[in-house]
Amino acid sequence: MICKIADLTVDVPAAGGISPRFTEYLCEFRGQTDITIHADAYRRAKYPGAPEELIAYIESGVQFHRELLRFDGMMLHSSAVVLDGRAYLFSGPCGVGKSTHTRLWKEVFGSDAQIINDDKPTLRRLNGTWIAYGTPWCGKDGINVNRKVPLAGICFLKQSPETRIRRLESPETTASVILQTMHRFKDEDNLTRMLAHVDKLVREIPIFELENRPVAEAARLSFETMHRAAKEAGL
């Protein structure tokens, strides 16, 4: 399958039953692709007893992320929602409520809010601007839209009986981002690329921590705070 993902041409093996995930990204292309996913490099032994579709889904994503680093990009474990033409990402450990929070945005802001990826959006820095993209690697619920939007903010979620938000500062910000990158690379070249991307990201994009319960107040607070910070930063 030849796909256009994050403004890159990607050759993805259709084997493994994952082709339905990529339907929205298929494109007509002849020539050398930017990225080629190799099914013979899938580490099947790492997933004993797992169905082939799951292995292909995970391993194709790992390969894409590794190659993405060469194109000023990275993937962040997060849920990405768009409002007023800007993307806002909500990240944190599994079970912290990322999907719940972005769905709250849809409840509060209605059709003006659109979730473009519910698990692994791609971020690329193009001409000095960070862009968020929907991707086929979008988690168990399959929520994604083939759309690209300028990135305005990232918020790390923390469950709490109170609702409050604060801006994170380095090195706390850097550590939070690295912990939620899709894959932490061990080889020196890719690790160097990843750290360089993270360094630019935390210096150029406002990043926050939101302590909250899943209530409408938390959605309004996170949007108003990040929207204001983005305007101040000229995003």
pLDDT tens sequence across 16-72:
778 888 999 999 888 899 999 999 999 999 999 999 999 999 999 999 999 999 999
pLDDT above 70: residue 183: no
CA distance 80 to 88: 6
Q: What is the pTM of this model?
A: 0.92
b/e sequence 98-137, b meaning 16+ C-beta within 10 Å: bbebbbbbbebbeeebbbbbbbbbbbbbeeeebbbbbbbb
* Domains of the chain, first to last: 1-71 (no CATH), 74-235 (3.90.228.20)
Of 139, 161, 73, 148, nearest in space to 114 by CA: 148
Angle at 142 between CA 140 and CA 148, to 5 degrees: 130
Q: What is the pLDDT of residue 182?
A: 60
> How many C-beta neighbours within 10 Å does residue 229 have?
17
84-87, long-range: CB < 8 A, 24+ apart: 84/112, 84/227, 85/149, 85/150, 86/149, 86/150, 86/151, 86/152, 86/153, 86/227, 86/230, 86/235, 87/116, 87/121, 87/132, 87/149, 87/150, 87/151, 87/152
